[in-house]
Structure 1
Amino acid sequence: MILLVDDRPENILPLKKILELHRFSVDTAGSGEEALRKVLKKDYAVIILDVQMPGMDGFEVANAIAGFSKSRDTSIIFLSAVNTEKRFITQGYTAGGVDYLTKPVDPDILVLKVKTLRKIYDQQQELRATQESLRKEVEVRKQAQEALTARMQELQVVLASLPQMAFTIAPTGRIEYVNEHWYQYSTSAETFPVTHPDDDVCDEWKKALADETEFMHEVRLQDLLTGDFRYHLLRIIPIKQQGVLSRWIGTFTDIHPQKQAAEVLEQQVELRTNELLNKNAELERTNHELQQFTWVVSHDLKEPLRKIQLLNDILKEKFFKDNPEATSYLNRSIQSSARMSELIKDLLAYSQLSAPEAFQPTDLTVLLNELLTDFDEQINQKKAVIKVDTMPTIDMVPTRIRQVFQNLISNALKFSKPDQPPHIEISAERIDTKSIDSNPSPAGDFYRLIVRDNGIGFDEKFLNRIFIIFQRLHNRTAYEGTGIGLAIAKKNIDKHNGLISASSRVDEGASFILILPIHQTHSLSVTDLL
């Protein structure tokens, strides 16, 4: 901004218009006193000052302005129509003016002078701003250097107190500092300890140094006192400030006892693994022999049972038809033989669960429709109603899952209320996790299958018992069964990497819940089923 100071408005107005035409911001003052007040409040690049004014003349105003620190870069041009002698001109320059013009003033010359002085003012302001910025930067750098020195001292104190070898390295790769433990493996602070010939890490360290990345490696260092090589973990990490590498900090940690223990453990693990492999092979042979034995025994037991049942039937029909007491005993014998035959059949089915089979995608709707045809007689006899929702296609062993649903549907029909037709519902819902209470999810990896009935139910305090082989909650005289069906169901579901559970109340029916994955990751094997 330009300040025009003159006590006569007719002198100020033309100069103001000329300067404004050249896009200068112009301020005016009608006296020296007013000019001083404005200089205290604003910054001016150039002051055009009339010499002769009432009160304070131009020289006095210039001397006063020279005492203001904020105006040290302001240029003063004196204008005078009367005081044109050399001594006045000299006095003007002595008072701090940069130029002394006599009236009438050539407007073009005045504008050129103002432009030049304004440019000098702007350059001075930029220079001062640069100087201030440099001064602050120097101060910041000084403070940073002092802080860095303090931190380095603290770091060295910390490194000195560490139980392992510790050191620092300059960005160039030169060792700066080592603690006392260093000298157990090196005679000089400037050289690395001697490493085992097979543990040369120079090339890898050079690459880490060039890439400014963390370096970690196991090395064997030679103890200067004993000459033995001991395992150490070498770790060197870069320390950066504002993205610039300042130094490296490294440690050698003695891991020799851990390495020895690990070697012993590896030997023990290898030995134990071989033992387990041998035991597993032996167990597989035993399991195979047991399956063969079970099949043979079951087959050999079934044949005499069939003969007993046949002979009992013949005796009842041929010799004791008219003897009620003998017929009662024979009926009990026939029923016991039938239960024994059923038990042998279920035991054989349970033992055969260990046979490996492959998973395959199976449509549960097709499987259940085929299975329900086997129950036509029972369904018609009990006037049962069975509702099957749309079922998914999932990976399974069809015969195994068929066993599961066969047992569940059979139980639902068997444990129905005497005075009420059985109602059985089979539903499916996609869920997100392998959990009985998992939330529904259209993109989940599992299905929750529920078999719900309106039968006699059971007390949930016995929930953990119903899936154990030979465990029964009801008297055999009231409800037939061997106590193996739900154990077979649980084993089959377990081998499908699933879950099975139930919820029920006495006389309020039961719901059996199955959780099965949509896709299986591997096929069943003998090892999985042991």
Structure 2
Amino acid sequence: MILIVDDRPENILPLKKLLELHRFSVDTAESGEEALRKVLNTTYSIIILDVQMPDMDGFEVANAIAGFSKAKYTSIIFLSAVNTEKKFITKGYTSGGIDYLTKPVDLDILVLKIKTLQKLYEQQQELRNTQESLRKEVEVRTQAQEALTQQMQALEGVLSSLPQMAFTVTSDGQLEYVNEHWYRYSSDPKKLPECHPDDDICDEWDVAFSQGMEFTRELRLKDLTTGEFRYHLLRIVPIRQQDVVVRWIGTFTDIHPQKQAAELLEQQVELRTSELLLKNTELEQTNHELQQFSWVVSHDLKEPLRKIQLLNDTIKEKFLKENEEAVGYLDRSIRASARMATLISDLLTYSRLSNPETYQPTNLNTLLDELLLDFDETISRTGAKISIDTFPTIETMPGRIRQVFQNLISNALKFVKPDVAPIIHIKAERIATLAIDGEPDTNGSYCRIVVQDNGIGFDEKFLDRIFVIFQRLHTRSSFEGTGIGLAIAKKNIEKHHGLITAQSREGEGARFSIVLPIKQV
């Protein structure tokens, strides 16, 4: 904006119109005091100032304006029709004027000068803006540099306190800082420690460095004091600012004692494994011999028992028919021999459980139908009712899973209430997990089988005992048996990687739950 100062309005108006025709913004003042008030509140690029004014002439106004910050870059052009002498022109320049024109003024020349001064003002303004922007940028950079210096000092303080070798690497891959531990392995802070020839990492580090990736590697470094190569774990992490790697921070952690311990442990494990393999071979041989022994013993024990039973029956029929007391003793001897034969058979069955067998898809419904034929006489005698759900095909060892159901059904038919027909229900459903209470799932990987009866039941505080060999909850006089059946069932289920348990109350029947994998791994 341009300010015209003249005490005569007739001088202001034509000059104002002329400048407005040339698209200049123009303001006016009719006295020096008014001009000073306006300069205090408005920034002007050019002031056209009449020299001869009452009260306060142009020189005085110019001297006053020179002290205003808003007029620091303002150009002053003096106009005068009276004071045309050289001394006045000199005074105008010394008062801060850029030019001193005498009237009559060539308006075209005046306009050209104003345009030139306006252009200079605008260029100076752009230059000042640029300078201010640069000043602020320099200030920001200075603050950033100071903050970075403080961060580096803090980082170096942290790294110097670490028990490991610590260092930093610049973004162009040069070592920047190392802590005191570095000098145990390298005498030069700009040179990496000497690595074992088999632990060269240059190629791997170059790849990690080019991709800005964290780098971790075990290697051996040469101790300058002892000349020994010690195992270290090298870890170098990139530090990013605005997704650009600005430096790397690395550590060498001494893991030599751990490596030695690990190597010693590996040697011990290898030695122990060899010993276990040898022991396992010996154990397999011993098991084989025990199986052969059990067969021989069972045969040798069964044969005398059969002879004892046969001889007792013969004596009973031929010589003691009339002697009821002798017959009673012989019956007890025959029953004891029968129990002994059953016990030997059960023990032989239990010993066979360690023999390996193969899994195969098994139709449990067919297996159960065949098994029930073995109990046909007992079912008919007791009036038992047995219902069986449809089972999915399961991978099992058929002979062993048959033993499980044989023992459970036998117990359900044996442990019954007086004068109450046994009712047995065998049901199955697929579940999602290997858990007795697993959630039903039509596509589950496991099958839950439940054998439910209405027999005499048992107190659940004895649950742990019923699956232990030779453990009985009832006397032989009450119920026959050897106490091995459920132990055999549990061992067979474990061979199938399954679960078995029971729930019961005295007088309310028993519920045996089994979970088996549909397919064996």
The CA deviation string for residues 241-283 of structure 1, in whole angstroms up to 9 with x for no partner, is 2211011111111111111111211111111110000000000
TM-score, normalised to structure 1's length? 0.74
Q: CA deviation at 1:476?
A: 0.5
Counterpart code for 2:456: I
The CA deviation string for residues 172-217 of structure 1, in whole angstroms up to 9 with x for no partner, is 1100000001011111100001111221111111111111111111
Q: CA deviation at 1:298?
A: 0.6
The CA deviation string for residues 92-132 of structure 1, in whole angstroms up to 9 with x for no partner, is x999xxxxxxxxxxxxxxxxxxxxxxxxx9xx99x98x999
Distance (Å, rounded) in 2 between the aligned partners of 1:313 and 1:177: 103
SS in 2 for 1:216: strand
Which residue is equivalent to 1:188?
A: 188
Q: CA deviation at 1:141?
A: 5.2
Which residue is equivalent to 2:172?
A: 172
Mapped pair 1:490 → 2:490: yes
Distance (Å, rounded) in 2 between the aligned partners of 1:67 and 1:171: 54
Distance (Å, rounded) in 1 between the aligned partners of 2:451 and 2:304: 38
Change (3 A) 1:501 1:65: farther
SS in 2 for 1:302: helix
Which residue is equivalent to 2:206?
A: 206
Which residue is equivalent to 1:456?
A: 456
SS in 2 for 1:300: helix
Which residue is equivalent to 2:519?
A: 519
Distance (Å, rounded) in 1 between the aligned partners of 2:256 and 2:426: 63
Q: After superposition, where does 1:66-215 map in structure 2 within 5 Å?
A: 143-215=143-215
Distance (Å, rounded) in 2 between the aligned partners of 1:496 and 1:475: 32
Q: CA deviation at 1:146?
A: 3.4
Q: After superposition, where does 1:326-341 map in structure 2 within 5 Å?
A: 326-341=326-341
The CA deviation string for residues 121-158 of structure 1, in whole angstroms up to 9 with x for no partner, is 9xx99x98x99999887766555443332222111001
SS in 1 for 2:232: strand
Change (3 A) 1:327 1:222: same
Which residue is equivalent to 2:64?
A: none
Q: After superposition, where does 1:194-343 map in structure 2 within 5 Å?
A: 194-343=194-343
Distance (Å, rounded) in 2 between the aligned partners of 1:196 and 1:272: 31
Per mean C-alpha deviation after superposition, the further-off stretch among 437-446 and 236-245 is: 437-446
Which residue is equivalent to 1:440?
A: 440
Which residue is equivalent to 2:504?
A: 504
Which residue is equivalent to 2:108?
A: none
Change (3 A) 1:416 1:136: farther
Q: CA deviation at 1:314?
A: 1.4
Q: CA RMSD in A?
A: 3.2
Change (3 A) 1:368 1:63: farther
Per mean C-alpha deviation after superposition, the further-off stretch among 164-173 and 307-316 is: 307-316
The CA deviation string for residues 488-518 of structure 1, in whole angstroms up to 9 with x for no partner, is 0000011111111111000000111111111
Change (3 A) 1:146 1:371: farther
Q: CA deviation at 1:445?
A: 2.0
Q: CA deviation at 1:66?
A: 7.7
Q: CA deviation at 1:444?
A: 2.6
Counterpart code for 2:465: R
SS in 1 for 2:433: coil
Distance (Å, rounded) in 1 between the aligned partners of 2:368 and 2:417: 24
Change (3 A) 1:139 1:492: farther
Distance (Å, rounded) in 2 between the aligned partners of 1:474 and 1:418: 15
Change (3 A) 1:62 1:427: farther
Counterpart code for 2:180: E
Change (3 A) 1:65 1:395: farther
Distance (Å, rounded) in 1 between the aligned partners of 2:368 and 2:24: 105
Distance (Å, rounded) in 2 between the aligned partners of 1:280 and 1:427: 41
The CA deviation string for residues 21-61 of structure 1, in whole angstroms up to 9 with x for no partner, is xxxxxxxxxxxxxxxxxxxxxxxxx998999xxxx99xx99
Distance (Å, rounded) in 1 between the aligned partners of 2:239 and 2:297: 76
Mapped pair 1:371 → 2:371: yes
The CA deviation string for residues 415-447 of structure 1, in whole angstroms up to 9 with x for no partner, is 011121111111112222222222223333222
Distance (Å, rounded) in 1 between the aligned partners of 2:139 and 2:426: 81
Distance (Å, rounded) in 1 between the aligned partners of 2:144 and 2:441: 57
SS in 2 for 1:416: coil
Change (3 A) 1:143 1:48: closer
Distance (Å, rounded) in 2 between the aligned partners of 1:519 and 1:509: 31
SS in 1 for 2:252: strand
SS in 1 for 2:187: coil
Larger radius of gyration: 2
SS in 2 for 1:501: strand
Q: CA deviation at 1:233?
A: 1.2
SS in 1 for 2:236: strand
SS in 2 for 1:463: helix
Change (3 A) 1:499 1:139: farther
Change (3 A) 1:315 1:191: same
Distance (Å, rounded) in 1 between the aligned partners of 2:418 and 2:34: 123
Counterpart code for 2:323: N
Distance (Å, rounded) in 1 between the aligned partners of 2:39 and 2:382: 120
Which residue is equivalent to 1:76?
A: none
Distance (Å, rounded) in 2 between the aligned partners of 1:131 and 1:214: 42
What 5-or-longer segments of structure 2 have no aligned partner?
Answer: 1-22, 46-74, 78-121
Distance (Å, rounded) in 2 between the aligned partners of 1:133 and 1:494: 82
SS in 1 for 2:206: helix
Distance (Å, rounded) in 1 between the aligned partners of 2:139 and 2:242: 17
Distance (Å, rounded) in 1 between the aligned partners of 2:333 and 2:149: 101
Counterpart code for 1:198: D
Change (3 A) 1:236 1:50: closer
SS in 2 for 1:173: coil
TM-score, normalised to structure 2's length? 0.75
Change (3 A) 1:330 1:137: farther
Q: After superposition, where does 1:374-393 map in structure 2 within 5 Å?
A: 374-393=374-393
SS in 2 for 1:465: helix
What 5-or-longer segments of structure 1 have no aligned partner?
Answer: 1-45, 74-92, 96-120, 522-530
Distance (Å, rounded) in 1 between the aligned partners of 2:485 and 2:132: 91
Counterpart code for 2:165: M
Distance (Å, rounded) in 2 between the aligned partners of 1:170 and 1:316: 107
Change (3 A) 1:139 1:512: farther
Distance (Å, rounded) in 2 between the aligned partners of 1:191 and 1:400: 71
The CA deviation string for residues 311-357 of structure 1, in whole angstroms up to 9 with x for no partner, is 11111112111211011011101100110111111111111111101
Distance (Å, rounded) in 2 between the aligned partners of 1:276 and 1:432: 37
The CA deviation string for residues 287-316 of structure 1, in whole angstroms up to 9 with x for no partner, is 111111101111111111111111111111
SS in 1 for 2:361: strand
Distance (Å, rounded) in 1 between the aligned partners of 2:359 and 2:483: 27
Change (3 A) 1:65 1:288: farther
Change (3 A) 1:343 1:47: farther
SS in 1 for 2:465: coil
